[in-house]
Amino acid sequence: MTLPPLAQAAIAAFIVLNAVILMVAYVTLLERKFAARMQSRIGPYYVGWPHGWLQPIADALKLMLKEDVVPAAADRWVYNLAPIAFLVPCVLIFATIPFAPGLGVADLNIGILFFLAVSALEIVGLFMGGWGSNNKYALISAMRAVNQIISYDLPFIFTALVPVVLAGSMQLSEIVSAQTGLFGWFVFRAWGLGVLALLAYLVATIAAENRVPFDILEAESELVAGFRVEYSGMKFALIQLGEYAHILGTSFLGALLFLGGWLGPGPAWLGPIWFLLKAIFVFLLITWVRWSFVRIRVDQILAISWKLLLPLSIVLLMAAAFAVAWSGGARV
């Protein structure tokens, strides 16, 4: 039985969406466990045996049962739509990620551009929340977010373009297939360019996701919870879901761009598992950074972006282009 292509795409999207939500839930558990061990703690333990594996479900249930508070002076429509406007781009970025050859919603030929474009939309939902709450903390947070997004989107895009130049394609599956062979991943390639690009990508990723040490927009000590300070219950859960979906999405993208995606030893059906492991590796790198550093100041964040990361990413991109040009299209 063959279905029309639209129905096929819908089914694929449904499956991926649910898988993403499930993964996001368990990624939070993973992060909590990881963070706990870094601080010589145990982490979630009691809900579900062993080691609290039911904790994400319990959290979701708790958030669903919470009272949904809308501030009296809030801009009601904007306030209520903000979590959705925030969540949709964050989940949409998974649409173009291939989990194995031919396994994914849509392997667009502008894959990476789609990813970058859609994740740039996330900021709209963010400042809808910040504005609509009619709360000074939320508004300050939204302003800081805009500041930071302007600063860190460019390095993020430039570093993500390094593998594109090396592979000669924007299609994510093409980028992966350009990384075959022993030490073929882009981290190991191009005379150290790849490693630098991966490091810059990670820093830009952390900043674009507003995580510690770049989390001035939700700095707990000054802004309580930033733009989501007024949100509770399911809306808060949606924002949280969106945030972790974004982190997971960039982890998957990092694994695709630099770590060879589903390539790995063993039979072909192991591919998605390799991919998942690599994505989790990238996620844990980001988490490791998060639990190692303290929050840095606004001017330091801007200085790092404009004086260190942006020049570095431009230089890396140009170096990659020169390397490709000199080698005359051969592998570098």
Partner 1 sequence: MTVETVGFWLVAAVLLASSLAVVLTKNLFHAVLYLAVALVATGVVFLLLESPFLFGVQLLLYAGGVVTIVVFAIMLTERLVGERITQTSRHVVNGAIVSAAVFVAVVGFLLQAGAPAPVTERPDQLAGLGRALVGPYAVTLELLGVLLVAALLGAIYFARADD
Partner 2 sequence: MSDFMGGLSKPPEPPTRSEPSRGVRGRTRETRDGPRGPESVTGFGTGTQRGGGSVAVLRDGAKGFWGETLQLARAVGRTMGVTFKNLVARKPVTVMYPDVRRQYPDRFRGVLALTYDKETGEENCIGCRLCEYICPPQVIKVEMLKAKERNWAKHFTLELYSCEFCELCVQVCPTDAIVMLKTFELATSDRRELLLDKDRLHALGLEHEHSWATGTRLRDMQAPPKAARGEGHRDGATRGEAAVTAPAAAAKPAGTAALAGAGSAEESATPAPAAKADGPSTAEAVKTAAAPPAAPGEVKTKETAE
Cβ nearer to partner 2, comparing 3 with 38: 38
- Beta-carbon contacts of 297 under 8 Å, excluding residues fewer than 6 positions away, are 216
The one among 79, 94, 99, 114 contacting partner 1 by CB under 8 A: 114
Please, are residues 188 and 163 in contact by the beta-carbon 8 Å criterion?
A: no
Angle at 155 between CA 180 and CA 244, to 5 degrees: 75
Q: Which of partner 2, partner 1, none has residue 114 at its interface (CB below 5 to 8 Å by kind)? A: partner 1
Nearest to residue 272, comparing CAs of 108, 95, 103? 103
Cβ nearer to partner 1, comparing 149 with 190: 149
The 31-70 site mask, x for binding partner 2 (CB under 8 A), equals ---x-xxxxxxx--x-------------------------
**CB 58 → partner 2: shortest distance, Å?**
17
Residue 281 contacts partner 2 per CB under 8 A: no
Nearest to residue 202, comparing CAs of 265, 292, 274, 141? 292
Residue 296 contacts partner 1 per CB under 8 A: no
Structure tokens at 242: 């969106």
The 22-61 site mask, x for binding partner 1 (CB under 8 A), equals ----------------------------------------
Nearest to residue 323, comparing CAs of 168, 214, 203, 185? 168
The one among 191, 288, 318, 322 contacting partner 2 by CB under 8 A: 288
- Tokens 């579900």 — which residue? 48
Cβ nearer to partner 2, comparing 18 with 292: 292
CB environment 272-281: b (16+ within 10 A), e (fewer) = eebbbebbbe
Q: Which of partner 2, partner 1, none has residue 288 at its interface (CB below 5 to 8 Å by kind)? A: partner 2
Measured distance CA(266)–CA(291) in Å, rounded: 34
- Tokens 């599956």 — which residue? 173
Within residues 132-191, the interface with partner 1 by CB under 8 A covers 136, 139, 142-143, 146-147, 149-150, 153, 157, 170
3-class DSSP assignment, residue 103: strand
Q: Which of partner 1, partner 2, none has residue 61 at its interface (CB below 5 to 8 Å by kind)? A: none
Residue 117 contacts partner 1 per CB under 8 A: yes
Residue 170 contacts partner 2 per CB under 8 A: no
Residue 108 contacts partner 1 per CB under 8 A: yes
Q: Where are the beta strands (DSSP E) in 98-190?
A: none
Cβ count near 177 (within 10 Å) = 17
Please, are residues 171 and 102 in contact by the beta-carbon 8 Å criterion?
A: no
Q: Which of partner 2, partner 1, none has residue 108 at its interface (CB below 5 to 8 Å by kind)? A: partner 1
Q: What are phi and psi of 178, to 5 degrees?
A: -80, -5
Measured distance CA(73)–CA(67) in Å, rounded: 18
3-class DSSP assignment, residue 5: helix
Q: Which of partner 2, partner 1, none has residue 117 at its interface (CB below 5 to 8 Å by kind)? A: partner 1
**CB 110 → partner 1: shortest distance, Å?**
5
The residues that touch partner 1, with contacts defined as CB under 8 A, are 6, 75, 78, 108-110, 113-114, 116-118, 120-121, 123-124, 127-128, 131, 136, 139, 142-143, 146-147, 149-150, 153, 157, 170
Residues making contact with partner 2 (CB under 8 A): 34, 36-42, 45, 288-289, 291-293, 296-297, 299-300, 303-304, 307-308
